Homo-oligomer: A and B are copies of this chain.
Amino acid sequence: MEQEVRVCVFGATGYTGAELLRVLVNHPHVRIASLLSKSHFGKKLKEILPSFYGFPLGDIKLSWEPEEDFDLAFLCLPHETSLELVPELIKLGKRVIDLSGAYRIGKPDVYLEFYGFEHKHSDLLEEAVYGLPEIFREHIKGARLVANPGCYPTATLLALYPLLKERMEIESPIVDALSGVSGAGRKTTQKFHYPEMEGNAFAYSVEKHRHVPEIEHIVQKVYGKEVKVRFTPQVIPLARGMMVKLYVKCKEHDFKELYRETYKDEPFVVLLDEPPSIKQVLGSNLCLLYPYYDKERSLLQVIGVIDNLGKGASTQAVQNFNLMMGFDEGLSIRMLPIFP
């Protein structure tokens, strides 16, 4: 091993933490320095994540504080916890990839309205790089702090980006999005109790959702002007996976070509000639896109799928890690989807 990066994972026992570890364990340049969990410290990882039985990593004890020195921290924490931990880590000279929403939106005032807390670290908020490699690759490379995108924004922005980049005239886009239940995290709630979620599906946060300011903020950054997005998140009965359907009124154009051209060098974005299915990307870092233009209605429609815990969270975090460290971008995240 030429180079070894010592890595800490804060909040190792949630779904994004688990998926991150599943991938990092195969990374040739990563050494897991500590796994942290304030709710389960003192226990072994496998006691909280039974899929680690049979693997040395499963026997690591969860700790309250980092147990040895480290170079980079992945934060799989609640927004409020990340908010305060990030400045401390940065002050200690660590690099940070934050999977929470605490440093994604460069407008401090948004946080009070959408997250319910005041954001007092506006300098770091400004410095943080939004970790969507297909748009911000060059900025990610040198970043100290990467704000790893939300799953809905990842899929939505990859579906929108070719239009934004080309400054196409777009009228308030509609985003109708389906998510697997793991998107809501590991905490139990009545609606996600198995007997009630099996065979069920519903929309939520129709009037207001945190991912809207995140999407609109990045759109404005790339597109140069404000765009209002109508966003309807829905939960469907599957553990992992996400599908967004984007509807945009706009003039005719060779959209298939535009999308293909935009992403032709991207290792993890694939254009399809027919609608993709969620399971096609299960456990992978892929995003599959299918654009279709309806001439009769002057409407562009783009369908995209990702794994909400993969490209929508943890494997994308590793993609960012690889970029930050100057490694091959696809190291340890080129695995095939699991099928069936």
A residues sitting closer than 8 Å to B (CB atoms) are 15, 18-19, 21-22, 25-26, 49-55, 57, 172, 174, 176, 178, 180-182, 186, 188-190, 192-204, 206-207, 228, 230, 232, 234, 236-241, 243, 245, 247, 268, 270, 272, 275-284, 286, 288, 290, 292, 294, 296-297, 299, 301, 303, 334-340
Docked complex Cα distance between A192 and B19 (Å)? 19
Interface centre among A203, A245, A268, A334 (most CB of B within 10 A): A203
Known: A198-B239, A230-B247, A283-B283. 8 other contacts (CB 8 A): A54-B286, A178-B178, A181-B194, A192-B195, A199-B240, A199-B282, A201-B241, A206-B303
Chain B residue contacts of A301, Cβ below 8 A: 206, 230, 232
Q: What is the bound-complex CA distance between A26 and B190, given in angstroms?
A: 28
Q: Is the CB of A15 within 8 A of B241?
A: no
Residues of B within 8 A of A49 (CB): 339
A246 CB to nearest chain B CB (Å): 11
Decide: A15 near B340, CB < 8 A? Known: A198-B194, A238-B198, A303-B203: yes
Please judge, given known A-B contacts A288-B53, A297-B228, whether A277 and B200 are in contact too, CB under 8 Å. yes
Q: Report yes or no: A180 in contact with B203, Cβ–Cβ below 8 A.
A: no
Quickly give the copy total for this chain. Answer: 4
A206 CA to B197 CA, complexed, in Å: 27
Is B182 touching A240 in the complex (CB atoms < 8 A)?
no
Q: Give chain B nearest CB distance to A283 CB in angstroms.
A: 5
11 contacts between A and B (CB under 8 A): A50-B280, A52-B336, A53-B280, A178-B234, A188-B193, A199-B278, A201-B236, A206-B275, A230-B294, A237-B238, A240-B340
Give the chain B neighbours of A237 by CB distance below 8 A: 194, 198, 236-238
> In angstroms, how far is the closest chain B Cβ from the Cβ of A138?
23
